[in-house]
Amino acid sequence: TFLDRFIAANQEQFPYASGELSQLLRDIALASKIINKEINRAGLVGIEGEVGNKNVQGEDQKMLDMVAHIRFERALCNGKQTCGILSEETDAIIDTKNHQAKYVVSMDPLDGSSNIHVNMPVGTIFSIFRRKSPQGTPPTEEDFMQKGIQQVAAGYVIYGTSMILVYTTGFGVNGFTYEPSLGEFILSHPDIRMRPDGITLSVNQENYNTFPAGVKSYLDYCKKERYKTIYAGALVADFHRNLFTGGIYLYPPSEKYENGKLRLLYECMPLAFIAEQAGGGSTNGQLRTMEIQPTSKHQRSPLFIGSKNMVGRVTDFMVASK
Ligand code: AHM
Ligand code: MG
CA–CA dist 279, 244 (Å, integer): 12
- The whole-number average pLDDT for the span 129-152 is 97
Q: Are strands 153-159 and 163-168 parallel, antiparallel or unpaired?
A: antiparallel
- Judged against a pLDDT cut of 70, whether residue 255 lies above it is answered with yes
CA–CA dist 33, 43 (Å, integer): 16
Q: Are strands 303-306 and 281-283 parallel, antiparallel or unpaired?
A: antiparallel
Average of per-residue pLDDT values in the chain: 91
pLDDT above 90 covers a percentage of the chain that reads 79
CA–CA dist 127, 141 (Å, integer): 15
Task: Identify which of 86, 207, 251, 256 to mutate to test ligand 1's pocket (most ligand atoms within 8 A of the CB).
Answer: 251
19-24: long-range pairs with CB below 8 Å, 24+? 20/81, 20/101, 20/102, 20/103, 21/81, 21/103, 21/128, 21/152, 21/153, 21/169, 23/79, 23/80, 23/81, 24/76, 24/79, 24/81, 24/82, 24/103, 24/105, 24/128, 24/153
- The whole-number average pLDDT for the span 295-301 is 97
Report the nearest-CA residue for atom 11 of ligand 1: 235
Q: What is the model's pLDDT at position 40?
A: 86
The overall longest dimension of the chain from CA atoms, in Å, is 58
List, for residues 171-213, the tens digit of each pLDDT value: 999 999 999 999 999 999 999 999 999 999 999 999 999 999 9
- Judged against a pLDDT cut of 90, whether residue 19 lies above it is answered with no
* Residue that wins the pLDDT comparison between 58 and 251: 251
Those residues whose beta carbon sits under 5 angstroms from the ion ligand 2 are 108, 111
Contact 280, 308 (CB under 8 A): yes
**48-57, 64-73, 150-159: the lowest-pLDDT one:** 48-57
| Protein residues whose CB sits closer than 6 Å to any atom of ligand 1 | 88, 108, 111-113, 204, 233-235, 261
